[in-house]
């Protein structure tokens, strides 16, 4: 590991990602506890090479446990999976390296994986997102957790390394990753052990991107599952979740009234669709910008004017980006916005709004409340910027537990699938392999099998008291389907 806290081979991008949720430390620290010595330093000082866990304060475990219990109530899908599969132990002998945000909802996932037979070691994928109480509760219950809020750069990698390093009793055979850092470290530093991995499950856009790049470069030797693009994930985490969080984010941060407001949504993918639907439903006039003619046509048919941003920038009250692109809202656009215009980003990238272009001496920044800045022009015009152009969801408290339950169940099933799949189902290779088929080299990142997607969905139906109809034998035969699915061809779009 390099001095500067950047692992050799690590890209600038991944560093940026690691900090992407951070504004200024003070915003995120509600207490003094993040200050002072990093917990791992004590462990190191104490000469403990392999501590069983490392958290901020193990005494907080009771409060954390209560948070976990509340989360269990709100995550019926993953709890149903735990109940149904705990006798089968489909993850028996699985040794999972986990690297994700660590909060009450993650704890429910971790304890589910354990109930299904797995052993885990877990680190945080973001230096500021750990809920210390939850980490304490997990550690107290015997899980090998290495995470706290306010990790230093060096501590961040130390924690992940605690999970990846093989020992006499710990030979990891699965990775559950969010952003690709555990995969990256394992590949770079523990190459030999990496070959024993049966599969990687990756959930983030960034991590998936890194996996596809590894695959293209011929460097990915184990099968990986892209759960970021699974149906339930896409539709629930994007469409349905954003339909609600855009309203929540704008309301909490600005108290604006939606009725009659003119707004423009840049991008009509799942996120944009969710935003548009909600804004329209609450009485906004909504314009859409798009680069893709198919999405543009959908926007038109759904009743939105498709425009270039410049055509409406002078008249709108709200500007929302949902493109994943960069430089979508420029300084030039912001020059033309009217007084009081609210600008926020719902896409995954923090580059959509050119925030840096606003950091010029002529503009005054005024923090009016947490996550809300007024950018004040010399003539007094104010632009209201949410979350400094980072994900506006940060203005809400958190993702709905239901969405997280869907994601967690998807992750668990992806682990089960990769762990139990017959040898031929998912291709892998090692450097020993003298001759690989060049065509199959890129085939190492997979989507979750449809049947698993369907199973995740079925776990969540009871929440809505939804009753599924079963095919009769005759109907199944007529349709050429198995009665228990999968029910659709792979190209089905939902």
Binding positions: 269-274, 290, 393
205 binds a copy of itself (CB under 8 A): no
Listed in sequence order, the residues at least 6 apart from 47 whose beta carbon sits closer than 8 Å to its beta carbon are none
Please report, as residue ranges, which positions from 280 to 299 form the binding site for a copy of itself (by CB under 8 A): 280-285, 289-299
Please report, as residue ranges, which positions from 246 to 265 form the binding site for a copy of itself (by CB under 8 A): 247-248, 251-252, 255-260, 262
Q: Of the ranges 184-192, 355-363, 383-391, 393-401, which one interacts with a copy of itself (CB under 8 A)?
A: 393-401
- Helices (H), ranges, 165-269: 181-189, 191-194, 205-216, 231-232, 241-254
Q: How far is CA 207 from CA 18, 99, 240, in A?
A: 12, 11, 23
CA 355/CA 359 separation, integer angstroms? 7
Distance from the Cα of residue 298 to its chain's centroid: 26
As measured in angstroms, the least distance from the Cβ of 318 to a copy of itself is 13
Please report, as residue ranges, which positions from 403 to 432 form the binding site for a copy of itself (by CB under 8 A): 403
Cβ closest to a copy of itself, residue 41 vs residue 302:
302
58 binds a copy of itself (CB under 8 A): no
Handedness of CA 91, 96, 99, 103 (dihedral sign): positive
Which one of residues 20, 119, 196, 458 is an interface residue with a copy of itself (CB under 8 A)? 458
Cβ closest to a copy of itself, residue 69 vs residue 93:
69
Please report, as residue ranges, which positions from 307 to 336 form the binding site for a copy of itself (by CB under 8 A): 307-309, 311, 315, 324-328
Cβ closest to a copy of itself, residue 138 vs residue 403:
403
As measured in angstroms, the least distance from the Cβ of 259 to a copy of itself is 4
Q: Of the ranges 42-50, 353-361, 425-433, 465-473, which one interacts with a copy of itself (CB under 8 A)?
A: 465-473
As measured in angstroms, the least distance from the Cβ of 165 to a copy of itself is 34
Please report, as residue ranges, which positions from 335 to 364 form the binding site for a copy of itself (by CB under 8 A): 339-340, 351
Name the β-bridge partners of 319. Answer: 264, 343
Cβ closest to a copy of itself, residue 182 vs residue 408:
408
Of 452, 454, 450, 457, residue with least CA distance to 420:
452
As measured in angstroms, the least distance from the Cβ of 163 to a copy of itself is 30
For residue 20, the SS3 value is coil
CA 285/CA 492 separation, integer angstroms? 32
Angle at 199 between CA 193 and CA 201, to 5 degrees: 120
482 binds a copy of itself (CB under 8 A): no
CA 317/CA 340 separation, integer angstroms? 7
397 binds a copy of itself (CB under 8 A): yes
- Please classify residue 409 by burial: count the beta carbons closer than 10 Å to its beta carbon, then call 0-12 exposed, 13-18 middle and 19+ buried: buried
DSSP at 130 = -
Q: Of the ranges 18-26, 197-205, 436-444, 472-480, which one interacts with a copy of itself (CB under 8 A)?
A: 472-480
478 binds a copy of itself (CB under 8 A): yes
Cβ closest to a copy of itself, residue 155 vs residue 288:
288
Q: Which residues are annotated as a binding site for NAD(+)?
A: 269-274, 290, 393
Q: Of the ranges 55-63, 90-98, 160-168, 273-281, which one interacts with a copy of itself (CB under 8 A)?
A: 273-281
- Whether residue 278 contacts residue 312, with contact meaning beta carbons closer than 8 Å, is answered with no
DSSP at 327 = S
CA 152/CA 54 separation, integer angstroms? 14
As measured in angstroms, the least distance from the Cβ of 474 to a copy of itself is 7
């Amino acid at each position: 590991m390099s001095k500067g806290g950047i692992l050799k081979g690590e890209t600038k991008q991944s560093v940026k990602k690691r900090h992407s949720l951070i504004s200024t430390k003070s915003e995120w620290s509600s207490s003094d506890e993040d200050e002072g010595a990093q917990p791992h330093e004590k462990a190191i000082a104490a000469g403990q090479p392999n501590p069983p866990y490392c958290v901020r304060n193990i005494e907080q475990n009771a409060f954390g446990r209560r948070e976990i219990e509340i989360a269990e109530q709100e995550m019926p899908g993953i709890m149903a999976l735990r109940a149904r599969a705990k006798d089968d132990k489909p993850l028996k002998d699985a040794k999972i390296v986990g690297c994700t945000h660590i909060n009450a909802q993650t704890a429910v996932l971790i304890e589910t994986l354990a109930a299904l037979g797995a052993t885990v070691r877990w680190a945080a994928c973001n230096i500021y997102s750990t809920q210390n109480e939850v980490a304490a509760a997990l550690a107290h219950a015997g899980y090998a957790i290495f995470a706290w809020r306010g990790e230093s750069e060096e501590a961040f990698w130390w924690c992940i390394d605690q999970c990846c390093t093989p020992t006499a009793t710990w030979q990891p055979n699965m990775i559950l990753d969010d952003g690709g850092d555990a995969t990256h470290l394992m590949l770079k530093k523990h190459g030999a052990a990496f070959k024993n991995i049966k599969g990687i499950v990756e959930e983030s856009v960034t991590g998936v991107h890194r996996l596809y790049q590894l695959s293209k470069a011929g460097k990915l030797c184990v099968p990986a599952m892209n759960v970021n693009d699974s149906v339930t994930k896409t539709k629930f985490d994007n469409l349905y979740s954003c339909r609600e969080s855009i309203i929540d984010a704008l309301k909490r941060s600005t108290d604006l009234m939606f009725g009659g407001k003119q707004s423009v949504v840049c991008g009509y993918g799942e996120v944009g669709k969710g935003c548009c639907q909600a804004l329209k439903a609450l009485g906004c006039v909504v314009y859409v910008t798009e680069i893709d003619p198919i999405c543009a046509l959908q926007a038109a048919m759904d009743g939105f004017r498709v425009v270039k941003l410049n055509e409406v920038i002078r008249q709108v009250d709200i500007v929302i980006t949902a493109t994943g692109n960069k430089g979508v809202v420029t300084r030039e656009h912001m020059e033309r916005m009217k007084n009081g215009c609210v600008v926020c980003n719902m896409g995954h990238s923090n580059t959509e709004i050119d925030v840096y272009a606003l950091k010029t001496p002529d503009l005054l920044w005024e923090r009016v409340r947490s996550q809300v800045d007024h950018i004040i022009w010399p003539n007094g015009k104010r632009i209201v910027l949410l979350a400094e152009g980072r994900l506006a969801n940060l203005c809400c408290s958190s993702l709905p537990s239901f969405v997280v339950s869907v994601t967690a169940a998807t992750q668990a099933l992806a682990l089960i699938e990769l762990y139990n799949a017959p040898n031929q189902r998912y291709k892998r290779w090692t450097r020993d392999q003298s001759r690989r088929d060049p065509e199959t080299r890129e085939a190492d990142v997979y989507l979750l099998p449809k049947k698993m997607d369907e199973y995740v969905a079925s776990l969540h139906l009871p929440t809505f008291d939804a009753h599924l109809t079963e095919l009769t034998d005759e109907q199944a035969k007529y349709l050429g389907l198995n009665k228990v699915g999968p029910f659709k061809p792979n190209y089905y779009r939902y």
